[in-house]
């Protein structure tokens, strides 16, 4: 394999790795530190998460307004365009 081909393959791999990191699903657990009901956002482990129309609520949560400061939660999220968006949130034991 020539040098030019190796560089092309290397660049393609970097693009795939970057795309996977940017669009991969992630998970975090912790206590709700603060809530902004108007913005539909909350802070867990110092990170602000935003609920959307497609956010799924489980384990006793039916809607964003059911969340309270101090709840221990598990959040599945995606990070896009500089924000953390909640895909699923549930109470953690």
* CATH number of the structural domain spanning residue 63: 2.40.50.320
Confidence (pLDDT) at 87: 97
Could you tell me how far CA 62 lies from the centroid of its own chain? Answer: 19
Average pLDDT, rounded, for the chain: 86
Region 44-54: mean pLDDT is: 97
Dihedral sign, Cα of residue 73, residue 78, residue 81, residue 85: negative
Residue 20 has pLDDT above 70, yes or no: no
Among 92, 29, 90, smallest CA distance to 58 is for: 90
Question: Total structural domains in the chain?
Answer: 1
Return the beta strands (E) in 1-93 as ranges: 25-36, 41-44, 47-50, 56-58, 72-80, 83-91
Which residue segment(s) compose the domain that 82 sits in? 25-91
Residue 65 belongs to some domain of the structure: yes
Q: Tell me what percent of the residues of the chain surpass a pLDDT of 90.
A: 69
Region 7-16: mean pLDDT is: 60
Residue 55 has pLDDT above 90, yes or no: yes
Residue 31 belongs to some domain of the structure: yes
**pTM exceeding the 0.75 threshold for the entire prediction:** no
Among 20, 37, 39, smallest CA distance to 79 is for: 20
């Amino acid at each position: 394999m020539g040098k030019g081909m190796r560089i092309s393959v290397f660049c393609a791999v970097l693009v795939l790795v970057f795309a996977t990191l940017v669009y991969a699903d992630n998970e975090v657990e912790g206590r709700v530190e603060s809530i902004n009901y108007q913005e539909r956002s909350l802070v867990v482990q110092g990170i602000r998460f935003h609920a959307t129309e497609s956010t799924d609520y489980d384990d006793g949560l039916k809607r964003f307004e059911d969340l309270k400061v101090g709840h221990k939660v598990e959040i599945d999220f995606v990070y896009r365009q500089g924000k953390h968006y909640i895909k699923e949130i549930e109470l953690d034991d």
